[in-house]
Chain A
């Protein structure tokens, strides 16, 4: 049977501090705030790439009551040692130019731009430990 699902509209990553996340994802990476709403029980904070509001990333703070305090602490510890698994892949028209811009803004580079069979890409790390990969992809065969 064919499925009828047709898009990945929202993804989630954990962040330790939503204000700091906003500064990083908006002011440094150039994303836009999609929704920033205090729901009372949580701050619903999502961002998207300019021109692409249909694909949001939820920047969620781990904590009670969604997680018990001990579990939230484990999440925070794994996140900061880079082991939680949050990972964003983005594309660009010019990997070297994007890399230069991010270096100038003090973003932590984990992997310098390299030409690979699939494209030119490089890696960065967000302030909390999440990995982000930015690629100028070659057309798929």
Chain B
């Protein structure tokens, strides 16, 4: 029994790692489900049970977190950043960003300062906007 849980967890983690690594690429559920060796519906259900949110939402938060970083640490314009983090439309990016962060990308850029020099994996994990309230 426990072995099955462990194998499932590890497979879900592998798919989540793929989102962390390749967020800028056009990742979709079929590709992620293949990484986890499960069907698409099983993948969505199991990922949610394992990590508390759907894979789609996780990927959105990963992309928005990277966008937040680029907004603060670079001079690139918002449209450029939108595509750089994997969104394919500026409208979707702006709407998703505002929904998750609570303000527009350009307002966010005005308000924030860059984080210090912690290893970027920690910055990525701890500055990712929460969906858990």
Chain A residues within 8 Å of B, Cβ to Cβ:
16, 73, 76-77, 79-82, 89, 108-112, 114, 116-118, 121, 123, 125, 127-129, 131, 133, 135
Contacts and interface: CB of A to CB of B under 8 A. Distances in A.
Nearest to A128: B10
A89 B14 CA distance: 20
A111 B121 contact: yes
Interface in B113-130: 117, 119-121, 124
Interface of B: 2, 5-7, 9-10, 12-14, 16-17, 20-21, 50-51, 117, 119-121, 124
18 contacts: A76-B6, A77-B2, A77-B9, A80-B10, A81-B10, A82-B17, A108-B17, A111-B20, A111-B21, A114-B120, A116-B119, A118-B117, A125-B14, A129-B9, A129-B10, A133-B119, A133-B121, A135-B119
B6 A80 contact: yes
A81 B119 contact: no
Nearest to A115: B120
A12 B117 CA distance: 26
Instruction: Determine chain B's interface SS by DSSP, over half rule.
Output: helix
B9 A121 contact: no
Contacts, number: 61
A81 B12 contact: yes
B14 A81 contact: no
A71 to B, nearest CB: 12
B20 A80 contact: no
A110 B20 contact: yes
Given A77-B2, A80-B9, A108 B120 contact: no
